[in-house]
Amino acid sequence: MDHMNVPLLEKKQYYKDCPGCKVEQENELINQELSILKLFIIWMVVLSSSLPMTSLFPFLYFMVRDFNVAKEEADISYYAGYLGSSYMLARSLTAVILGMVSDRYGRKPVIILGIISVVIFNTLFGLSTSYWMAIITRFLLGSLNGVLGPVKVYV
């Protein structure tokens, strides 16, 4: 009965500086229970990174109007469209790069970079004094906020 003493799966081999190995080791140590604190933190991260996508639409018209870039009132929506879409344009340009960075250096640094960028560039966007400052801060916010992909993988 020697076949009864042979393990079905061999012990996993972990490497020293591998972020994925650290996650797997942590998962083995956890007793497969979902921590409410971790779930709350993930929820807050996703909420804070998703708010810049939609939170500007109620006041975007008035913000563009106060910048005085439109010659006529009908042109305000034209400029507001560019301002609103600059965030998603930047996200689409950098999503793959930030995904590769999160695979290489770990999920947490990318998530922390995204949260810091939300705080800094969303504040600068709200304090914008010109149309081009608003476009640039919104574009930088989108290009550095690659949180949603790594958070899904982290979960």
Q: Is residue 16 part of a domain?
A: no
Q: Is residue 4 part of a domain?
A: no
Q: For residues 69 and 76, give the distance between their C-alpha atoms in angstroms, rounded to a whole number.
A: 8
Q: Is residue 6 part of a domain?
A: no
Domain that holds residue 138: 34-154
Mean pLDDT of the chain: 85
Per-residue three-class SS string for the chain: CHHHCCCCCCCCCCCCCCHHHHHHHHHHHCCCCCCHHHHHHHHHHHHHHHHHHHCCHHHHHHHHHHHCCCCCHHHHHHHHHHHHHHHHHHHHHHHHHHHHHHHHHCHHHHHHHHHHHHHHHHHHHHCCCCHHHHHHHHHHHHHHCCCHHHHHHHC
Q: Is residue 82 part of a domain?
A: yes
Structure-block tokens of residue 26: 């942590």
Q: Is residue 126 part of a domain?
A: yes
Structure-block tokens of residue 116: 């810091």
Q: For the residues 7-33, what does the mean pLDDT come to?
A: 69
Q: Which residues contact 120 (CB under 8 A, 6 or more apart)?
A: none
Verdict on whether the full-model pTM lies above 0.85: no
Answer whether residue 14 shows pLDDT above 70.
Answer: yes
pLDDT confidence of residue 33: 57
User: How many structural domains are present in the chain?
Assistant: 1
